[in-house]
Structure 1
């Protein structure tokens, strides 16, 4: 198993709102940065704008700043230069702006990786951790790190958390996200969860939060074989929360029914099915 060392970037994250505020600046003033979590001093100059935060100053040109106005993208501004917070590999990854003081979501190939329908990514993470009943002293396995919101919420409740992420590009995006910084306090295992879980000890966790991508992206993480591994590493009396969402609802497909049946065959007692959201199960 490879453990990943999470290293938040040193610099400033500029949102479309910050860009608009900067472009309206006549001289010197304060502007919100890092999705509204911090305030920086900015000054308009002949070369563009100088932005200073915590004794560090960076310069950005006006034409670059205009690239994110009226968009949902972020600009990183720091020692490594100025660039959009996105990556192109075999997939396209983007940190997506949802509003000031709102935790961003991650988009992969245009599909956002968080539930943002009537909620925010952070509020949704809090709900999942609350449903799981995480408390101080728990050992939590968080499957599919993403931007780390559920892992961070479990850690904030006093749990010891181990999280698994398959895609290093996801973690590279997270390192630019101010809302992901607390992942520095959490053990991150880099690799395919379907393989890593086989290397974890029996009954090592009191709680497991399984929040996989949609079935089309990671079908093996919905298999009975994988559920048997979750069952093995969960202690007796331990709880699983499995986020399912509601794929297939418009086609009349009961996706949750199939998940619940496979969990039962793996040995779990299904305690509660939260319609179109998730399943709570227990290892008897």
Structure 2
């Protein structure tokens, strides 16, 4: 899966202006670099996919969006949740992308990026043994915890969020790492399913209060 944002299109437009016939860009939001070919019509990718210059310009004019390259052109990375009446989309940053929940970033992005922010939280939590991550989101917490812990169980309320994860290159280990087990549902409802002392560490980093106020309640923390 190839994902483009304004960071990549800026380089492509600069290369076009310079008269270059190729450019090195990331097709996975900064994880790696790939050479693409440029011609008068647009950009040609190693897979055979093609994106015209008008589409490249469209991406460049949308700095808070990521776009998936398909056989038919480009599609914005976004999913509408019918269950919760929320629009989720992927937003590029200086590092790993964040997710917008109805237009609001779910991570701290001022003077940091979501990956570095998650790394700081993991250092503080010092995961080991069996870990419970109560709110999956883009999966960065679970992915980083699994680098230290033997097993990570991560819970996501909305399946639509996992649809965004599947399109986010930085979330790939969430599905590839056998040490990570996903559960779907409200963590407040699922916690009673686990026996007492099932986990050596519990990492609880819920979304903003207006989206999940019950995850801040005394009853929840008592569980």
Indicate whether the TM-score tops 0.5.
yes
CA shift digits 1:168-216 (9 cap, x unpaired):
1111111111111110211110111111112222221010000111111
Q: Distance in 2 between matches of 1:78 and 1:221?
A: 38
Matched residue, 1:28 = 22
Counterpart among 42, 51, 57 of residue 45 in structure 2: 51
Post-superposition, which runs of at least 4 consecutive aligned residues in structure 1 deviate over 4 A? none
Is 1:172 the counterpart of 2:169? The answer is no
Matched residue, 1:241 = none
Q: Distance in 1 between matches of 2:22 and 2:110?
A: 38
Equivalent runs, 1:126-165 vs 2, <5 Å: 126-135=119-128, 138-165=129-156
Matched residue, 2:107 = 114
1:80 is displaced (CA, Å) by 7.7
Counterpart among 201, 209, 214 of residue 207 in structure 1: 201
Q: Distance in 1 between matches of 2:89 and 2:64?
A: 9
Matched residue, 1:191 = 185
The answer on whether the counterparts of 2:23 and 2:38 sit within 8 Å (CA) in structure 1 is no
Equivalent runs, 1:1-284 vs 2, <5 Å: 11-24=1-14, 25=16, 26=19, 27-52=21-46, 56-70=47-61, 71-78=63-70, 82-89=74-81, 90-99=85-94, 102-135=95-128, 138-184=129-175, 185=177, 186-229=180-223
Paired residue secondary structure (1:68): helix
Higher strand proportion: 1
The answer on whether the counterparts of 1:15 and 1:34 sit within 8 Å (CA) in structure 2 is no
Between structure 1 and structure 2, the one with the greater Rg is 1
Q: Distance in 2 between matches of 1:80 and 1:63?
A: 14
The answer on whether the counterparts of 1:134 and 1:159 sit within 8 Å (CA) in structure 2 is no
Unaligned runs of 5+ in 2: none
1:148 is displaced (CA, Å) by 0.7
Q: How many residues align?
A: 212
Q: Distance in 1 between matches of 2:171 and 2:161?
A: 11
Paired residue secondary structure (1:124): helix
Unaligned runs of 5+ in 1: 1-10, 230-284
Paired residue secondary structure (1:220): helix
Matched residue, 1:238 = none
